[in-house]
Structures are given as structure tokens and as C-alpha cells.
Amino acid sequence: MTIRPILRALPLLFATSAALAQLPAAVDGQPLPTLAPMIERTQPAVVNIHSQTHVKVRDPFFDDPFFRHFFNSPGVPRERVQQSLGSGVIVDALKGYVLTNNHVIDGADDIQVTLADGRTLKGKFIGSDPDSDVALLQIPAERLSALTLADSEQLRVGDFVVALGNPFGIGQSVTSGIVSALGRSGLRGVGVQDFIQTDASINPGNSGGALVNLRGELVGINTAIYSPSGGNVGIGFAIPAKLAREVMRQLLAYGEVKRGSLGADTQDISAGIAPLLGLKSTQGALVTRVQPGSPAAAAGLREGDVITALNGKAVNASRELGNLEGLLPIGTRVAITIQRDGATATLQATLKPTELRKLDGGKLDAGLAGAELGDLPDKLRRQGLSGVLVHAVTPGSRAEANGLRANDLVAAVNQAEVRDLAELEARIAKRRNPQLLLTIVRGRSAFYMLVE
């Protein structure tokens, strides 16, 4: 029934001259909906980023002196160039600041930024935060356009959004969709997560590009997609503008991002542990240790408490607690909801920076001399790791002779677990015999190491 009126109208449309052969500006007095005016305003602030990284290539043959002599090779390390394509967003036209993803420019030796008008400018690296995958660049501030950062906390599921970027390096493209979900986490490779999920197509090269609302305001930085097949399946993720703004502020102020911590170690609650502790649920983060002098200690948190919420946001697992901590700046006052002895209580604490201690292993044992040992950084702790990190090993030292390498993780001493440097010191000081057997985690391997 609805087809006939449309068919009768077609001759009227096609009967017009070639110059007027287009859709009408209005139907029944109402203008046709279009995103074109908003896109025209925002596109000049979205840039393409091309980065190059020189990587040394090791060749087992040319590492051998015999082969170098035989092939008359001087043994100069060879290099290969890794190239990366991505996108970025100008957020300050007067100072030339550009937000992008850390993984777009990580380790780059040369960064070129191409504007929508075709100009290519050299990008200056200001700083980055691998935990949130945000990086800040600066380009010469000449005839630039910038996007206004919106309050991303006002976003709602169902809001229309538009993604702008440089997919596959083919040039600027625009896709549209809605906000599918908020507060997403659990993605691999990113420590601090509070993602906006959208079904606007985000493809390789879109990383670092803009996610805007229909007013053309920046609500997020496009970052990743969920793709079992390698193609777009309508599940993309963007870093909220509020988080990107805070990262940029700290990078400009301190050159790094300083995050607060409660100073408590936690673990997940398994179905086997719950009944032994008198718990009716496995949801929450079980407190296994409260660091002396920490905000958690000052708040009255105890071992055996179960943290179920932080500032009203539910905590279902230990990783979620670490993520919520990482999203809050130093000095933030937080309400900790806990379960203790079957009752619910709320504690108050103020987040402080984690104090990472380091010392020369020779102060603990002569066999560790030359190894710089220290506490784990927050990024590794939020991943559920514990132990003592070997930050550096002096060439020719006793520690090197015993087999220690930089980035080794000391997980136990004489088969007794250590969670940080203080525990390592205590275990070594209280040992009953001079033998020192370390449990080392190196990459994906774990092994014993006898220190002599």
C-alpha cells in the first residue's frame, strides 16, 4: 500500500534538471537530518599520525666472531623500521596539544602529524601513560582547530556518537553509532580501564581518534575493538574524555601520572575459600595484608575484611578494586564499603602515592651484591602480581654471576613467599642457615636459583 505513492512521486523528482537532481532540502516543511555540519566543524581537529621506530635485529650467525670474519662483516647491529599508523585529536589550538593512544607512538623515534588540510608537521612527544593508553604530543600551533572536551560522565547508554579517524591509513573517515555500555573493563594490555563501549565502527588506524557527541564535543579517545575474527563486529572501546583530561593535566604538570593507592593487598574469593571465612558470596576483594602507615591502615581496614564497594561502585573482584584505585587521583577521599564478621561497615580513607623502596641486594646478602631490588610498581600490582622486582644488575657483580637478570621477579625465599621488599628483608634476616634459595619468575618461566 505504501509503494504506490512513492512510485507516483518519482517522475516528479527525476523530471527536474540535472543541476537540481538531488534530494530536497526539506520534506513536508521539515529539513532532512544530517550530521554534515557537525562533521565539517570537527574534522579539522582530527589528525593522522605516522610514527617510525628503529628496532635492532639480532642475527645469531653474525653474533658469532667466526661468521663475522668469514663474511667480512664488521658486526654492526642491523636495524629494521617499524611503522605505525593512527589518529589523534587536537585539544588545544593555541598550544598545539594532541591527544592520542600510547600504543600508537610507543617507542617512536619519529612522529609525523598530518592535518585535515594536508599539512604534515613534526610531532613532539610530551609524555604518555601506558596504564591508561593515553599519550600527549605537541605540534606547531599554526592555524589549528581544536575540539572541546565534554563531560563524559553525562553520557548515557543510547546516546548517539560519531567516531572520526584514519582507518587502515586510507584517510579520514567517519562512522556513527550509539553508546552501547559504560564503565567497561577487563581488556588485556591496559592497566586502568573505564571504557565507553560503542557500536560505531572502529578499525585499525582509528586508534587515538575522536569519539564525539552530536554537538561535536569530544567524549572519548578511540582505543580498541573486540574482534574474534579480525573484522569489526560492532564492539569498540574509547577512553572517556574525563580520564584523558586528567592524564593530560598530570603529564603537563609532572611529566608522569601519579595515582593514589589504599595500600592494601587483596585477592579474589574462590568458592572454596568463601565458606571457610564464613562468607555467603564470592563477590568482593579479600584483604590479605594492610601495609603499615598506609591509608588503609589509617582507615582501620583489617586482614580478612572483604571490600565490596569503593565510593559506591561495586567491587566484585580484586582486579576491579585496583582499577577503581587507578582511576582516582592522589588526595581523593574515598568511602570503602566492607563486610566484616557478617556485618557491613563503611570506612573513610584518603588515597596516597605508593612509596616504592629500592636497595642494593648486597645489604641483604653478599651473593645479591650488584642487584637493585625494589617493590613492584602499581601497574604490576594491579595485575595481581606480588614479589620483589630486580630493577637492574651491575655487569660483573656477584648477583650477575649467580644468574640474576634485570626484570626478574623474586617470588619466594627458601620456599617462603615474599610479597614486597620488606618481606624479603625479613625472610633473609630470619633464615636459620646461610643457604639462600630464591624462586625466580622470568617471563613465563619460574625456577629456583641458589645464591652463593
What residues are annotated to the active site?
103, 133, 207
Residues 6+ apart with CB under 8 A from 243: 132, 134, 152, 192, 194, 327
Closest CA to 184 of 219, 242, 247, 236: 236
CB 192 within 8 A of CB 323: yes
- Residue 322 cell numbers, joined: 585496583
Nearest of 223, 239, 235 to residue 149 by alpha carbon = 239
Helix (H) / strand (E) element for 10: namely helix 3-14
Alpha-carbon gap, residue 195 to 226, rounded angstroms:
12
Q: Are 314 and 369 in contact (CB under 8 A)?
A: no
DSSP string, 189-209: T-SS--EEEE-S---TT-TT-
Residue indicated by cell numbers 613492584? 376
- Count H helices and E strands in the chain, helices first: 11, 30
308 vs 316: CA distance, rounded Å = 7
CA distances from 82 to 85, 123, 136, 146 (A): 10, 17, 20, 29
Contact predicate 45/147, CB 8 Å: yes
CB 135 within 8 A of CB 99: yes
**Cβ–Cβ under 8 Å, residues 189 and 237:** no
Across-strand partners of 88?
47
Amino acid at 240: P
Angstrom CA distances, 95 to 124, 145, 252, stand at 12, 11, 12
Interior/surface letters 2-35, b for 16+ CB within 10 angstroms, e for the rest: eeeeeeeeeeeeeeeeeeeeeeeeeeeeeeeeee
- In the chain, what is the straight-line distance between the N-terminal and C-terminal CA atoms, in Å? 91
Please give the Cα distance from 195 to 224 (Å, whole number): 10
Phi-psi region of 158 (alpha: psi -120 to 50; beta: other; left: phi over 0): left
Q: Which of 274, 278, 259 is nearest to 331 (CA)?
A: 259
